[in-house]
Amino acid sequence: MNRILFSKTGMAKYISHLDLMRTMQRALLRAGLEIKHTQGFNPHPHMVFALPLPVGCESCCELMDFELVKDAGEEEIVSGMNRTLPEGIEVISAYVPERKLKEIAKLEMEIIFTFDSGATEEKADRLRELFERNEIVVNKKTKKGFSDINIRELMDKVEISIYNSSKIRLSAVIAAQNPSLNPLLITTAIGNYEPELAPDQVSYNRKEIYDNEMNIFR
Amino acid sequence: MRKIGLPLYALESKDPVKDFDIVAFSLGYEMAYTSVINMLDLAGIPLHREDREGLKNLVIAGGTCTYNSEPLCDFVDLFSIGEGEDALCELAELYGKAKAGGWSKREFLRKAADIDGIYVPEFYDISYNEDGTVRAITPIDGVRPVVTKRIVQDFEHSYFPEKTIIPSTEIVHDRVVLELFRGCIRGCRFCQAGYVYRPVRRRSSDVLAEHAINALKDSGYEEMTLSSLSTSDYKELNVLCDKLLDYCEPRKISLSLPSLRADNFSFELMERVQRVRKSGLTFAPEAGSQRLRDAINKNVREEDLFNTCRIAFEGGWNAVKLYFMLGLPTETDEDVKAIADLANQVVYIWKKHAKNKSRGVRITVSTSFFVPKFLTPIQWEAQNAMSEYKRKVQLLADTMKNRAVTYNWHDPETSYIEAVLARGDRRIGKVLEEVVKNGSGLQAWSEYFSFDLWMESFKACGIDPDFYAARERSKDEVLPWDMISAGVRKDYLWRERETAYRGEITPDCRKQCTGCGANLIYKGGRCDE
């Protein structure tokens, strides 16, 4: 089993999860690294992504597990894949994993809100007030229909600060899986609770992944 | 993009299209013409060729439909007629010289008009008769009167794109495409590709296997398709498949074989290649009766189709799709009803031969509305009226009573517009512009296609679409595309037309050469060697 740590930034944030799977599969093959396929009637390459990244989010801490037909060294995997991957996707390291992906519990997110009308201390205060509530309910579309969830209980360590004259930065540690919190819902919540504070543009950045004890997960 | 003032940009480099020296369009079929105009507009490039001064933003186009370039002549500076591998390199070289030497656009175009396979509309004057037909095509400035399409002379050793741009998102044809051969030996009289891609030239299985493996390695694709006009006519198909499967099978790379014919279809081959799903087979008999199939020279015999279906059903297949065209020349109501008979017979064969009948059988019959295309023996023909097509659809639907048969038909509106554009002349340009101005450029996309918009635009431009779609041309009429030759002689096409009306077939090129003329542009080579 092999695991890679990779980043997905810039224009590459628009590559969807499904396309990312195809891109990774091709990058491995193009690097001359043959990936093991699943057994069965319709074999497909066996790859597991730790936490699928929503389209539009950037990240510097993505993990993918896979198995190769023939073993390859760390350097061979990293340089081989980086030679063939598109701009914006970069393999940072490759290693044999010691921990299971299901041990991932939390994520550090950075969200930057852009306001065409400018970022003011007053706006930042109102946002801080909003996230001091114990309950922030958002209607979320699920496979079974719509359901209300309290996003506040999936968020921890919320910090809000002025980033520059037009941007406000929100950083938070959010639940990563079972259940996870889609960071886009944080923006939805702002629009619902404080329509005047609905930002004109938002960028999302996944900064770090942790286990349940807040140790960095690799 | 218009709303926020974002100009059209290149997908890979993100550079504005307006910054490019040459903007080239590869056109799949006529309905894409409006997209060309729309894209130029989105890029901020002046639409009309005479409004683009200097060498910057030279607009060029190619593709089978541009063998009649006339509808796009207002907008495009030059057309690459035929295979572009050699002509485009020569053109780029000339462009470099022109840029370095500070030539005027006209100087450059005049020299470009001497490159084999390059058609520059500026140097061809068109005059019209009172009845609207073309009176004469007059070459000016000493350019050659007829532009003959360019072909790759040495196809075996010609360039094959082993290194391609690898997309990061899913695209159409998201796989390695291995081109086996060009041209087709068959000579189906309705088929434009069958005439304009002549003569038949192939690559050997050794060369193909090498290209295939290199392309798979470079791209990382796990799927490959064999491409040609009639894959089962490739002489070394079995040998090639062995070579490819040796590489593909252990690596789980799947191989697909489209364009197989019902008469020489090999099940052994299908079984080996398609290991996974055993669902549907698709055949295109094109016409219901043997008489009409003979008239269009689609030399598939009923027995061949039935035989193929029998083997398929015995082998566990349980779905067959059959494609037909309605509105073919000489078609009678009997021919239309024969489609239903054919489908019923296929159901009967299933009942008699299927191993496992518990899953039932699905026979799908689809009909499309025939569009007469230029540079085929049918280029003089009138298209059926839309009302006539609809009547035939109704007749067929009423005849097709078998519950195992599903009947689908295409709406005729797009095919009618396609027929107008296919045999259009330079006066069609303003209609295209009108459509883009008042609606959407995406007329090849059924979601955006608007028949009313087209009809209003014809009216606004004072053009009668029936003049182009529904009029039979006479033998001596000057056709708008007469300055273009695909190598096949016009009198050969006329002879084929007469043979069609006699209901006689023409043997395929492998059986006997019938002297179409395409071999004459193949210097030193022999067709289908």
CATH of domain A104-210: 3.30.70
- Fold topology of A2-98: Alpha-Beta Plaits (3.30.70)
Sorting pLDDT into bands at 50, 70 and 90, what band is B308? confident
B222 and A34 in contact by Cβ < 8 A? no
As given in the structure block, the two tokens for residue B445 are 């996309």
Under an 8 A CB cutoff, do A29 and B217 touch?
A: yes
Contacts of B252 in chain A (CB under 8 A): 37, 43, 45
Nearest CB neighbour to B168, from listed A32, A43, A86: A86
pLDDT, tens only, B143-199: 999 999 999 999 999 999 999 998 988 888 899 999 999 999 999 999 999 999 999
The whole-number pLDDT of residue B219 equals 94
Size (chain B), residues: 529
**pLDDT greater at residue B258 or residue A208:** A208
A2-98 and A104-210: identical CATH topology: yes
Domains along the sequence of chain B with CATH: 17-148 (no CATH), 153-276+490-529 (3.30.750.210)
CA dihedral B147, B148, B149, B151 (to 10 degrees): -140
If you average pLDDT over residues A106-112, what whole number do you get?
96
Query: Considering only CA atoms, which of A44, A65, A85 is closest in space to residue B223?
Result: A44
Please give the pLDDT value at position B524.
Answer: 79
Per the rule left: phi > 0, alpha: psi between -120 and 50, beta: everything else, B469 is alpha
Phi, psi (deg, nearest 5) at residue B235: -60, -35
* Contact check, Cβ <8 Å, B220/A28: yes
Q: Look at A30 and B220 and tell me if their CB atoms are within 8 Å.
A: yes
Residue of B nearest to A85 (CA): B168
- Closest-CA residue of chain B to A69: B251
A15 CB neighbours in chain B (<8 A) are 168-169
CA distance B11 to A207: 29
Report chain A residues whose CB lies below 8 A from the CB of B276.
41-42
How many angstroms away from the CA of B251 is the closest CA of chain A?
8
Report yes or no: B219 at the A interface, CB cutoff 8 Å.
yes
Query: The tokens of A184 are what?
Result: 């886009």
In angstroms, the separation between the Cα of residue B217 and the nearest Cα of chain A is 6
Q: Give B14's contacts in chain A (Cβ within 8 Å).
A: 11
In the chain, the amino acid numbered B459 is: K
Q: What percent of chain B has pLDDT over 90?
A: 78
What pLDDT, on the 0 to 100 scale, is given for residue B278?
54
Contact, B57 vs B23, CB < 8 A? yes
Residue B12: pLDDT over 90: no
- Tell me whether residues B276 and A41 touch, CB distance under 8 A: yes
DSSP code of B106? H
Which of A22, A42, A84 is opposite residue B276, by nearest beta carbon? Answer: A42
**B169·A25 Cβ contact <8 A:** no
Its sign, for the CA torsion B439, B444, B447, B449, is positive
B165 contacts chain A (CB < 8 A):
no
Q: Which residue has the tokens 């290149």?
A: B10
Asked if B220 and A84 come within 8 Å (Cβ–Cβ), the reply is: yes
- Cβ separation B169–A34 shorter than 8 A: no
Task: Considering only the beta carbons, identify the residue of B169, B219, B251 that sits closest to A26.
Answer: B219
The secondary structure of residue B205, as a DSSP letter, is H
Q: ω into residue A179 within 30 of 0, thus cis?
A: yes
Q: Which residues of A touch B217 (CB under 8 A)?
A: 29-30, 32
Tokens of B208: 């193909």
Whether residue B169 and residue A19 make contact (CB cut-off 8 A), yes or no, is: yes
Of A12, A30, A37, the CB nearest to B218: A30
**pTM of the full predicted structure?**
0.89
- pLDDT per residue as tens digits for the range B56-70: 999 999 999 999 999
Model confidence pLDDT, tens digit, residues B184-218: 999 999 999 999 999 999 999 999 999 999 999 99
Res A174 pLDDT > 90: yes
What does the pLDDT read at residue B262? 67
Residue of A nearest to B14 (CA): A11
- Single out the residue of B150, B181, B149 nearest to residue B85, CA to CA: B150
Q: What is the pLDDT of residue B265?
A: 63
Contacts of residue B166 in chain A, CB cutoff 8 Å?
A: 26, 30, 84, 86
CA dist B137 and B143 (Å) reads 12
Beta strand spans in chain A (E): 2-8, 47-49, 57-66, 89-95, 106-114, 137-142, 145-150, 155-162, 167-175, 201-210
Distance CA B1, CA A86 (A): 25
Band the pLDDT of B444: cuts 50, 70, 90: confident
- For B339-366, the pLDDT digits (tens) are 999 999 999 999 999 887 888 889 999 9
Find chain B residues with C-beta within 8 A of A16's C-beta: 169
Q: Is A22 helix (H, G, I), strand (E, B) or coil?
A: helix
What CA–CA distances, in Å, run from B230 to B28, B29, B64, B288? 18, 20, 17, 21
Averaged confidence pLDDT in chain B? 93
Q: B221 and chain A: CB distance < 8 Å anywhere?
A: yes
Considering Cα of B463, then B466, then B469, then B474, what sign does the dihedral take? negative
Of B124 and B3, the structure prediction assigns the larger pLDDT to B124
Q: What is the pLDDT of residue B276?
A: 47
Q: How far apart are CA B450 and CA B444, in angstroms?
A: 10
Mean pLDDT of A23-50: 89
| Contact with chain A for residue B169, Cβ under 8 A | yes
**Would you list the domain boundaries of chain A?**
2-98, 104-210
**ipTM of the modeled complex:** 0.83
